[in-house]
Structure 1
Amino acid sequence: MESSMELTVHHHGTPHSFPLSNSATLQDLAAAIEGILNIPVANQKLLIAPKPGMQKAPFPPTALTDILPLDSPRFKITLLGSPAKAIADLHEQATSERKRQETRASALATARKNQPTASRSRGINTLSNGSNNYTFHRLLPLNYLPNPDRSLQFLTRLRDDAGIRAAMAKHKFSVPLLTEMNPAEHTTSESRTLGLNRNKGEVIELRLRTDAYDGYRDYRTIRKTLCHELAHCVFGPHDRDFWDLTAQIEREVEAGDWKSGGNRLTGQEFYNPGDWERVQSGEDEYVDECGWTGGEFVLGGLRDGNRDSGGTESRREILARAAEERLKKEGKKETQDDGR
């Protein structure tokens, strides 16, 4: 009989065991994960520590014994990916919401068309015609987390923020759903995601809560993240066009925030692209991975698993390389301590 081995894969903090033969490949492991956890192979990403780092579909037919550091005391496989049902449910919810909003917009347009001319001119409207459509049409807190009412208040504040409303009206951004992000589902030992944009504005998720669920993050930081995600309604990759639009939206939000006076404290830019990528307080925080399309993270600078002509690295590659460097430094420190 062929010899076998058992691998442990961690998903959302839970270990799962997979018995495999010694001749099994990465493709075999991905197929086993799909069969047991119902996560499609195309949605899977495997972070293998300490090396070779991040692996993503399509997986190569490489033998596991050749690629996995099985003898390393730091060996660990972390699975990133959402089950097919969760993705389908979110798609269905977004589609249903979009249809409802389209029906509502059609009814409003018909009513406006039939409204007498005299009544249309009454009152003062600070927004241009149709600008009420340029907003977040539905707010969704996560009811299974503590204090969902507070999250709803936070989302409402973002939606009604004078600066956000002005910027969305100017760029004609109409987002069906604004919801909060569960920190546990978007935090790994290597990083934490601050926001996501699905399908160029179909759904926007924001990390409102602290990791311990005992409070909420700074409002202006979250609003800055929201500006970043709104820019993904136009541009996917983190290229120059994207960062220029992000800076423009942030300036417009600041200028349109009449409740705070609309004045900056300094003449400096409101954002710095390097700040998003920099490790803060010893933790890797990054906004997103160039948008979230169809349940997959669309990694900027990658096409079909290879670098594009621009030669940029994906965010996952950067994180994997950073993790490797951190492990190397820890190993050197342990060696130095042992030699004392």
Structure 2
Amino acid sequence: MKIQYRDESLDFEEVPDETISDLAVRAATHIGADVGRVSFFFLPKPGFMKYPFPERKLSDFITPTTRIKLVGTPNSEVKKIVEMSAASRRTTRPSNFKPVKANKVRDWKKVQEESTYTFHAIEPLPYLPNPEKSRRYLERLANDPGIKASMRKHGFSVGLLTEMNPAEHTTHESKTLGLNRNRGEVIELRLRTDAYDGYRDYKVIRKTLCHELSHNVWGEHDRNFWNLTKEIEQEVERNDTLHGGHRLSNEEFYNPDDSYDEAEHADAGGWTGGDFVLGGSTSEPGLSRREIMAKAAESRMRKEKEAAERRDSPSPS
């Protein structure tokens, strides 16, 4: 059995009746990582898997064409990151030392956390106009300093961040601004205006994302949910170093006529069950959530390989 890990292809002996959980322990041991710090992509199915792993037998779905990608950070690297972070904090300078130029110290603990507590895949709806613009919007949300800081603090990990089709989530009484499926497996956001002639305001959508991230913890709209939502919103505003004030007036996703109305946010709480369809209406056949995440990972792997090949290829003389 071959497993892709970073730039290596690892060979693992096939074990009869082995489960995903068993393989995770073997793989974590092989790379010297804690099992809670590794995850798998089984392509094409069942897709993305993370700790705690199911006790499902590999023989139930592994075929000769199945590809397996292992993601994980060895304990030695984690230790190095922690030590470098501690060393940077211990570093002192003589009182008379005046550097010509300040050196930026990289926060390795923050780097490690941001790679764990993040949106692991980002995909727009390909059948709506200008999907690449939607992708830029989603990527901007994922890289928002306030959102990233809040995700690190609360340990939020989201499998897929995508957009929703307004037509499929509007009634005469309300409209859904966002959905969180299975406590962070998929978050959908209503990026577009109802008439499909533009995009909703960035800060409005960011506030919707705060609401949906709260559903990673609380399903019902009870006091616990609203307290956490308010906490996340305050954290995002406090850490907003890029989009503060009125600087969005010249930005791509600024819409002065848009506003956030909690009363119309009919997301029915943290939704569980069913298959999420990317590329058609909810009644049409499509990909499951795990398949979407797996395809996104496959696409990233392909792009990384193409980029590496371009770097290695000799330049024309």
Q: TM-score, normalized by length of structure 1?
A: 0.49
2:272 equivalent in structure 1: 293
Q: Equivalent residue for 1:108?
A: 73
C-alpha distance in 1 between matches for 2:272 and 2:185: 9
Q: Deviations over 1:238-293 (max 9, x none)?
A: 00110000000000000011224599xxxxxxxxxx9411xxxxxxx324111210
| Alignment size in residue pairs | 187
SS in 2 for 1:192: coil
Q: Say if 2:166 is the partner of 1:215.
A: no
Asked if structure 2 preserves the Cα contact closer than 8 Å seen for 1:94 and 1:176, the reply is: no
| Aligned AA (2:110) | S
User: Which of 109, 125, 133 pairs up with 1:142?
Assistant: 125
| Cα pair 2:189 2:209 within 8 Å, conserved | yes
State the one-letter code of the partner of 2:121: R
CA radius of gyration, larger in: 1
CA–CA distance in structure 1, aligned partners of residues 44 and 227 of structure 2: 32
Matched, 1:128 2:113: no
Corresponding residue number in structure 2 for 1:225: 208
Q: 1:172-208: per-residue Cα shift (whole Å, max 9, x none)?
A: 0011110000111112233211000011111100000
Q: 1:105 to 1:130 in 2, by over 3 A?
A: farther
Q: Does 1:249 align with 2:232?
A: yes
8 Å CA contact retained: 1:183, 1:211:
yes
Q: Which amino acid aligns with 1:226?
A: L
1:97 to 23, 35, 48: 48
Deviation at 1:124, TM superposition (A): 1.4
C-alpha RMSD over aligned residues = 3.4
Question: Residue 295 of structure 1: CA displacement?
Answer: 2.8
Q: In structure 2, what is the Cα distance between the partners aligned to 1:286 and 1:239?
A: 14
1:298-320 per-residue CA deviation (whole Å, 9 max, x = no partner) reads xxxxxxxxxxxxxxxxxxxxxxx
Displacement of 1:93 after TM fit? 8.4
- Which structure shows the bigger proportion of residues in strand conformation? 1
Change (3 A) 1:170 1:217: same
Cα distance in 1, alignment partners of residues 238 and 111 from structure 2: 21
Q: Which has the higher contact order (CA 8 A, sep 6+)?
A: 2
Check 1:237–1:116 CA distance in 2 against 1; reply closer, same or farther (3 A cut): closer
Partner deviation per Cα, 1:74-120 (whole Å, 9 max, x = no partner): xxxxxxxxxxxxxxxxxx989513459x9877433367259699878
| TM-score, length-scaled by structure 2 | 0.52
Q: Which amino acid aligns with 1:259?
A: L
In 1, distance between residues paired with 2:202 and 2:244? Answer: 17
Contact residue 191 and residue 205 of structure 2 kept, 8 A? yes
Unaligned runs of 5+ in 2: 1-42, 54-67, 89-104, 247-259, 276-317
Provide, for residues 8-44 of structure 1, a one-character-per-residue CA deviation record: whole Å limited to 9, x for no partner. Answer: xxxxxxxxxxxxxxxxxxxxxxxxxxxxxxxxxxxxx
Structure-2 separation of matches of 1:230 and 1:240: 15
- Separation in 1, partners of 2:44, 2:173: 31
Secondary structure class of the residue paired with 2:161: strand
Give per-residue Cα distances to partners, 1:42-69, cap 9 Å, x unaligned. xxxxxxxxxxxxxxxxxxxxxxxxxxxx
1:234 matched residue in structure 2: 217
Is 1:194 aligned with 2:173?
A: no
Percent identity, please.
54
- Partner letter of residue 197 of structure 1? N
One-letter code aligned to 2:134: S
